[in-house]
Amino acid sequence: MKLKIGKILKAQGIKGEVKLACYLDDVSMMSGLKNFYIGLQDYVVEHIRTDGNFCYAQLKGVLDRNSAEKLKDMEVFADKECISLPKNRFFIDDLLGCEVHLNNGETIGTVTDVLQYGAADVFVCKREGKTVSFPFLNDLVVFVDIESKIITLEGKRFAEVAVYED
């Protein structure tokens, strides 16, 4: 499976390097990637460096500024299995569809969206036509099992932070 990881903003310099806006929440995750998919083509990453939320990549076969400029505004994809996540970090598409339960056994619902506001991601769950949102906080989340598609939350903390839609 391929994930959209960025967008080429412009050519950088005269030797074919490109500047990318990184869509990953940690630009350092780009460092280990060996291949990018741009358009219908697979590019080998010869060199990549990061700076803030941007990265600069030298791609095999992109030898000069003119070649790099042809890639401007194109979306960049990578193989999901090649992106290593730190412990207790998850891909949003793996979280969507997970059943959310409290540690007392109560079912909250199914994750239908993850909103990213900066301080903490906000999970949106639906069950029987009702919607509840909650921040993904370390003291709230007891366990995440991506394989079983189950997220377990601490009940008392959930009651403090949950927001129900009317």
For β-strands 150-153 and 54-59, DSSP reports them as: unpaired
Is residue 18 situated within a structural domain?
Answer: yes
Rounded Cα gap, residues 9 and 162, in angstroms: 39
* Residue 34 and residue 69 in one domain: yes
* Residue 6 and residue 72 in one domain: yes
Cα dihedral 144, 136, 161, 126 sign:
negative
Which of 10-19, 111-120, 129-138 shows the lowest mean pLDDT across its residues? 111-120
Integer CA distances (angstroms), 81 to 3, 55, 86, 124, in order: 10, 20, 13, 26
Torsion region of 34: left, alpha or beta (phi above 0 gives left; psi -120 to 50 gives alpha):
alpha
Integer CA distances (angstroms), 86 to 26, 124, 129, in order: 10, 23, 34
Contacts of 20 (CB under 8 A, 6+ apart): 6, 7, 8, 9, 30, 54, 55, 56, 57, 76
Is residue 87 situated within a structural domain?
Answer: no
* Structural domain boundaries, residue 14: 2-82
For residue range 80-112, what is the model confidence (pLDDT) as tens digits? Answer: 989 888 887 888 889 999 999 999 999 999 999
φ and ψ of 115, to 5 deg: -100, 135
* Residue 100 and residue 41 in one domain: no
Cβ atoms 23, 6 nearer than 8 A: yes
What per-residue confidence (pLDDT) applies to 134? 96
For residue range 31-75, what is the model confidence (pLDDT) as tens digits? Answer: 889 999 999 899 999 999 998 889 999 999 999 999 999 999 999
Q: Say if residue 9's pLDDT is above 90.
A: yes
Integer CA distances (angstroms), 101 to 31, 74, 90, in order: 36, 40, 18
Domain end position, chosen among 32, 60, 82:
82
* Residue 111 and residue 138 in one domain: yes
- State if pTM tops 0.75: no
Is residue 158 situated within a structural domain?
Answer: yes
Rounded Cα gap, residues 1 and 8, in angstroms: 21
For residue range 115-129, what is the model confidence (pLDDT) as tens digits? Answer: 988 778 999 999 998
Which CATH number characterizes residue 60's domain?
A: 2.40.30.60
Domain end position, chosen among 82, 100, 121:
82
* Residue 72 and residue 104 in one domain: no
Rounded Cα gap, residues 161 and 134, in angstroms: 6
Contacts of 14 (CB under 8 A, 6+ apart): 64, 65
* Tally of domains in the chain: 2
